[in-house]
Protein backbone atom coordinates (compact mmCIF):
# COMPACT_ATOMS: atom_id res chain seq x y z
CA UNK A 1 0.00 0.00 0.00
CA UNK A 2 1.31 3.43 -0.93
CA UNK A 3 1.99 5.76 1.99
CA UNK A 4 -1.07 7.80 2.89
CA UNK A 5 -0.40 11.46 3.71
CA UNK A 6 -2.49 13.37 6.22
CA UNK A 7 -2.69 17.15 6.61
CA UNK A 8 -3.63 18.23 10.12
CA UNK A 9 -4.76 21.82 9.98
CA UNK A 10 -3.79 23.81 13.05
CA UNK A 11 -4.54 27.38 14.02
CA UNK A 12 -4.54 29.68 17.04
CA UNK A 13 -6.11 27.69 19.87
CA UNK A 14 -5.79 24.20 18.38
CA UNK A 15 -4.66 21.84 21.13
CA UNK A 16 -5.31 18.31 19.85
CA UNK A 17 -3.24 18.44 16.67
CA UNK A 18 -0.36 16.42 18.15
CA UNK A 19 -2.75 13.72 19.34
CA UNK A 20 -4.36 13.53 15.89
CA UNK A 21 -0.93 13.25 14.29
CA UNK A 22 0.04 10.44 16.66
CA UNK A 23 -3.21 8.57 15.98
CA UNK A 24 -2.69 8.60 12.22
CA UNK A 25 0.95 7.62 12.58
CA UNK A 26 -0.16 4.65 14.70
CA UNK A 27 -2.49 3.75 11.82
CA UNK A 28 0.39 3.75 9.33
CA UNK A 29 0.08 7.18 7.71
CA UNK A 30 2.50 10.08 7.41
CA UNK A 31 0.89 13.07 9.12
CA UNK A 32 1.97 16.71 9.07
CA UNK A 33 0.68 19.65 11.06
CA UNK A 34 0.28 22.76 8.91
CA UNK A 35 -0.89 26.20 10.05
CA UNK A 36 -3.98 27.59 8.38
CA UNK A 37 -2.09 30.73 7.33
CA UNK A 38 0.28 28.59 5.28
CA UNK A 39 -2.64 26.84 3.59
CA UNK A 40 -4.31 30.17 2.89
CA UNK A 41 -1.13 31.35 1.19
CA UNK A 42 -0.88 28.17 -0.89
CA UNK A 43 -4.23 26.32 -1.10
CA UNK A 44 -2.74 23.93 -3.68
CA UNK A 45 -0.71 22.32 -0.87
CA UNK A 46 -3.77 20.27 -0.05
CA UNK A 47 -3.38 18.33 -3.30
CA UNK A 48 -0.41 16.47 -1.84
CA UNK A 49 -2.55 14.78 0.84
CA UNK A 50 -5.29 12.17 0.92
CA UNK A 51 -6.81 13.09 4.29
CA UNK A 52 -7.50 16.49 5.86
CA UNK A 53 -8.03 16.70 9.62
CA UNK A 54 -9.33 19.65 11.61
CA UNK A 55 -8.51 18.74 15.22
CA UNK A 56 -10.01 19.75 18.53
CA UNK A 57 -9.25 22.82 20.59
CA UNK A 58 -10.55 26.33 20.98
CA UNK A 59 -9.59 28.01 17.73
CA UNK A 60 -9.50 31.79 17.96
CA UNK A 61 -10.67 31.45 21.56
CA UNK A 62 -14.20 30.55 20.42
CA UNK A 63 -14.70 34.32 20.70
CA UNK A 64 -17.73 34.52 18.38
CA UNK A 65 -18.99 30.97 18.82
CA UNK A 66 -17.20 27.63 18.98
CA UNK A 67 -15.43 27.06 15.65
CA UNK A 68 -17.17 29.98 13.93
CA UNK A 69 -14.10 32.07 13.09
CA UNK A 70 -12.30 29.03 11.70
CA UNK A 71 -15.46 28.14 9.76
CA UNK A 72 -15.45 31.61 8.18
CA UNK A 73 -11.83 31.11 7.11
CA UNK A 74 -12.62 27.72 5.61
CA UNK A 75 -15.60 29.17 3.74
CA UNK A 76 -14.15 32.40 2.40
CA UNK A 77 -10.51 31.49 1.79
CA UNK A 78 -10.45 27.73 1.27
CA UNK A 79 -13.98 26.81 0.21
CA UNK A 80 -13.18 25.95 -3.42
CA UNK A 81 -10.05 23.99 -2.47
CA UNK A 82 -11.90 21.97 0.16
CA UNK A 83 -14.80 21.14 -2.14
CA UNK A 84 -12.39 20.00 -4.86
CA UNK A 85 -10.52 17.94 -2.26
CA UNK A 86 -13.75 16.23 -1.15
CA UNK A 87 -15.02 15.70 -4.69
CA UNK A 88 -11.76 13.99 -5.66
CA UNK A 89 -12.76 11.16 -3.28
CA UNK A 90 -10.45 12.19 -0.47
CA UNK A 91 -11.40 12.29 3.20
CA UNK A 92 -12.04 15.12 5.67
CA UNK A 93 -12.29 14.62 9.42
CA UNK A 94 -13.31 17.19 12.02
CA UNK A 95 -13.01 16.38 15.71
CA UNK A 96 -14.77 18.46 18.39
CA UNK A 97 -13.80 22.05 17.48
CA UNK A 98 -13.10 20.71 13.99
CA UNK A 99 -16.65 19.34 13.81
CA UNK A 100 -17.98 22.73 14.87
CA UNK A 101 -15.96 24.41 12.12
CA UNK A 102 -16.94 21.91 9.40
CA UNK A 103 -20.64 22.07 10.30
CA UNK A 104 -20.72 25.86 10.45
CA UNK A 105 -18.85 26.12 7.15
CA UNK A 106 -21.53 24.04 5.41
CA UNK A 107 -19.18 21.21 4.42
CA UNK A 108 -21.22 18.56 6.26
CA UNK A 109 -24.77 19.91 5.99
CA UNK A 110 -25.21 22.55 3.30
CA UNK A 111 -27.32 25.59 4.23
CA UNK A 112 -30.54 26.37 2.41
CA UNK A 113 -31.84 29.77 1.25
CA UNK A 114 -32.82 30.63 4.84
CA UNK A 115 -29.44 29.81 6.36
CA UNK A 116 -27.86 26.94 8.32
CA UNK A 117 -29.92 23.80 8.77
CA UNK A 118 -28.00 22.57 11.82
CA UNK A 119 -25.50 23.91 14.31
CA UNK A 120 -23.77 22.99 17.56
CA UNK A 121 -24.98 24.96 20.57
CA UNK A 122 -24.18 25.19 24.30
CA UNK A 123 -24.63 22.01 26.33
CA UNK A 124 -28.00 21.83 28.07
CA UNK A 125 -26.15 21.29 31.36
CA UNK A 126 -24.82 24.83 31.04
CA UNK A 127 -21.26 23.68 31.69
CA UNK A 128 -18.20 22.17 30.07
CA UNK A 129 -18.56 18.38 29.94
CA UNK A 130 -15.48 16.18 30.28
CA UNK A 131 -16.24 12.47 30.57
CA UNK A 132 -16.10 9.10 28.78
CA UNK A 133 -19.16 8.16 26.74
CA UNK A 134 -20.53 5.23 24.73
CA UNK A 135 -21.47 5.56 21.07
CA UNK A 136 -23.52 3.45 18.70
CA UNK A 137 -21.99 3.44 15.23
CA UNK A 138 -24.06 3.21 12.05
CA UNK A 139 -21.36 3.48 9.37
CA UNK A 140 -23.55 3.80 6.29
CA UNK A 141 -21.33 5.18 3.52
CA UNK A 142 -18.72 6.64 5.89
CA UNK A 143 -15.28 5.06 5.26
CA UNK A 144 -13.98 6.19 8.67
CA UNK A 145 -16.43 3.87 10.43
CA UNK A 146 -16.37 0.74 8.25
CA UNK A 147 -16.96 -2.41 10.29
CA UNK A 148 -17.56 -0.56 13.55
CA UNK A 149 -20.70 -0.85 15.69
CA UNK A 150 -19.67 0.80 18.94
CA UNK A 151 -17.09 3.19 20.34
CA UNK A 152 -16.02 4.16 23.85
CA UNK A 153 -14.10 7.45 23.89
CA UNK A 154 -13.93 10.70 25.88
CA UNK A 155 -15.67 14.00 25.20
CA UNK A 156 -14.55 17.47 26.31
CA UNK A 157 -16.64 20.41 25.13
CA UNK A 158 -18.97 23.20 26.15
CA UNK A 159 -20.85 23.57 22.86
CA UNK A 160 -21.66 20.13 21.51
CA UNK A 161 -25.45 20.07 21.39
CA UNK A 162 -26.62 19.38 17.85
CA UNK A 163 -29.66 21.50 17.05
CA UNK A 164 -31.61 21.51 13.78
CA UNK A 165 -33.61 24.54 12.70
CA UNK A 166 -36.72 22.48 11.99
CA UNK A 167 -37.84 19.04 13.13
CA UNK A 168 -38.03 17.73 9.60
CA UNK A 169 -34.40 18.73 9.05
CA UNK A 170 -33.44 16.36 11.87
CA UNK A 171 -35.58 13.60 10.41
CA UNK A 172 -33.97 14.17 7.04
CA UNK A 173 -30.48 13.68 8.48
CA UNK A 174 -31.57 10.48 10.22
CA UNK A 175 -33.31 9.06 7.15
CA UNK A 176 -30.38 9.95 4.89
CA UNK A 177 -28.02 7.95 7.11
CA UNK A 178 -25.90 11.00 7.97
CA UNK A 179 -26.27 10.52 11.75
CA UNK A 180 -23.51 7.93 11.89
CA UNK A 181 -22.66 8.31 15.59
CA UNK A 182 -25.20 8.49 18.44
CA UNK A 183 -24.89 8.55 22.21
CA UNK A 184 -26.15 5.43 24.00
CA UNK A 185 -26.44 4.23 27.56
CA UNK A 186 -25.40 0.55 27.91
CA UNK A 187 -26.98 0.44 31.36
CA UNK A 188 -30.40 1.55 30.12
CA UNK A 189 -32.91 -1.21 29.21
CA UNK A 190 -33.87 0.56 25.99
CA UNK A 191 -30.48 2.14 25.32
CA UNK A 192 -31.91 5.66 25.41
CA UNK A 193 -29.31 7.95 26.95
CA UNK A 194 -30.40 10.41 29.61
CA UNK A 195 -27.82 12.87 30.89
CA UNK A 196 -24.90 12.29 31.29
CA UNK A 197 -24.85 9.44 28.74
CA UNK A 198 -25.95 12.10 26.27
CA UNK A 199 -23.62 14.73 27.70
CA UNK A 200 -24.87 17.77 25.81
CA UNK A 201 -28.56 17.23 24.99
CA UNK A 202 -28.07 16.74 21.25
CA UNK A 203 -31.25 16.23 19.27
CA UNK A 204 -31.60 12.62 18.19
CA UNK A 205 -28.69 11.79 20.56
CA UNK A 206 -26.41 12.62 17.63
CA UNK A 207 -22.68 12.69 18.37
CA UNK A 208 -21.39 12.79 14.79
CA UNK A 209 -22.55 13.49 11.25
CA UNK A 210 -21.17 12.75 7.81
CA UNK A 211 -21.94 14.60 4.60
CA UNK A 212 -24.08 12.92 1.90
CA UNK A 213 -20.98 11.35 0.30
CA UNK A 214 -19.83 9.85 3.61
CA UNK A 215 -16.32 11.19 3.03
CA UNK A 216 -16.62 14.19 5.37
CA UNK A 217 -17.06 13.19 9.02
CA UNK A 218 -17.48 15.42 12.04
CA UNK A 219 -17.82 14.19 15.61
CA UNK A 220 -17.76 15.77 19.05
CA UNK A 221 -16.04 12.86 20.89
CA UNK A 222 -12.26 12.42 20.75
CA UNK A 223 -11.19 9.09 19.19
CA UNK A 224 -7.58 10.31 19.10
CA UNK A 225 -7.57 10.16 22.90
CA UNK A 226 -8.18 6.42 22.92
CA UNK A 227 -5.74 4.87 20.47
CA UNK A 228 -3.55 3.26 23.16
CA UNK A 229 -5.19 0.79 25.56
CA UNK A 230 -3.55 2.48 28.55
CA UNK A 231 -5.42 5.71 27.77
CA UNK A 232 -8.61 4.15 29.12
CA UNK A 233 -9.08 5.18 32.77
CA UNK A 234 -10.08 1.66 33.88
CA UNK A 235 -7.57 -0.43 31.99
CA UNK A 236 -6.01 -1.80 35.17
CA UNK A 237 -9.44 -3.08 36.26
CA UNK A 238 -10.92 -4.34 33.01
CA UNK A 239 -7.67 -5.66 31.57
CA UNK A 240 -5.24 -4.38 28.98
CA UNK A 241 -6.64 -4.67 25.46
CA UNK A 242 -4.54 -4.88 22.33
CA UNK A 243 -5.39 -1.29 21.29
CA UNK A 244 -7.64 1.62 22.10
CA UNK A 245 -11.08 1.61 20.47
CA UNK A 246 -10.51 4.91 18.67
CA UNK A 247 -7.64 3.54 16.58
CA UNK A 248 -10.02 1.68 14.25
CA UNK A 249 -11.39 4.99 12.93
CA UNK A 250 -7.94 6.19 11.87
CA UNK A 251 -6.94 2.80 10.46
CA UNK A 252 -10.12 2.74 8.38
CA UNK A 253 -9.26 6.12 6.89
CA UNK A 254 -5.78 4.93 5.90
CA UNK A 255 -7.07 1.64 4.48
CA UNK A 256 -9.60 3.54 2.34
CA UNK A 257 -6.67 4.42 0.04
CA UNK A 258 -5.28 0.90 -0.13
Residue 42: what pLDDT?
A: 95
Percent of the chain with pLDDT over 90: 94
Q: Is the pLDDT confidence value at 1 over 60? A: no
Q: How far apart are CA 59 and CA 16, in angstroms?
A: 11
Active-site annotation holds for 222: yes
- What's the pLDDT band for 2 if we cut at 50, 70, 90? confident
Name the pTM for this structure. Answer: 0.97
Nearest to 56 by CA among 152, 137, 156: 156
Q: List, for residues 49-82, the tens digit of each pLDDT value.
A: 999 999 999 999 998 899 999 999 999 999 999 9
Higher pLDDT, residue 53 or 193:
53
- Give the CATH number of the domain where residue 62 resides: 3.40.50.880
Count of structural domains within the chain: 1
pLDDT in tens, 14-59: 999 999 999 999 999 999 999 999 999 999 999 999 999 999 999 9
User: Is 232 a known active-site residue?
Assistant: no
Domain that holds residue 10: 5-255
Once rounded to an integer, what is the mean pLDDT over residues 192-208?
Answer: 95
Report which of 85, 64, 63 is spatially closest to residue 9, judged by C-alpha positions. Answer: 85
16 labelled catalytic: no
Catalytic residue among 224, 226, 232, 245: 224
- On whether the CB atoms of residues 140 and 210 are closer than 8 A, the answer is yes
Which of 16, 19, 96, 129 is catalytic? The answer is 96
Which of 3-12, 75-84, 147-156, 189-198 shows the lowest mean pLDDT across its residues?
A: 189-198
Amino acid sequence: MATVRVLILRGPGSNCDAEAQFAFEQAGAVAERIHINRLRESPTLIRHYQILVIPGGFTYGDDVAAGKILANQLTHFLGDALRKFRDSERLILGICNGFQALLKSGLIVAPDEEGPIATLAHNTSGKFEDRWIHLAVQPGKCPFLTGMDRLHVPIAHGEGRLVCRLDWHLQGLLQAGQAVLRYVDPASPNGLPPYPANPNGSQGDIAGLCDPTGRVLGLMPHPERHVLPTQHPRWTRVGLKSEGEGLALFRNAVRFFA
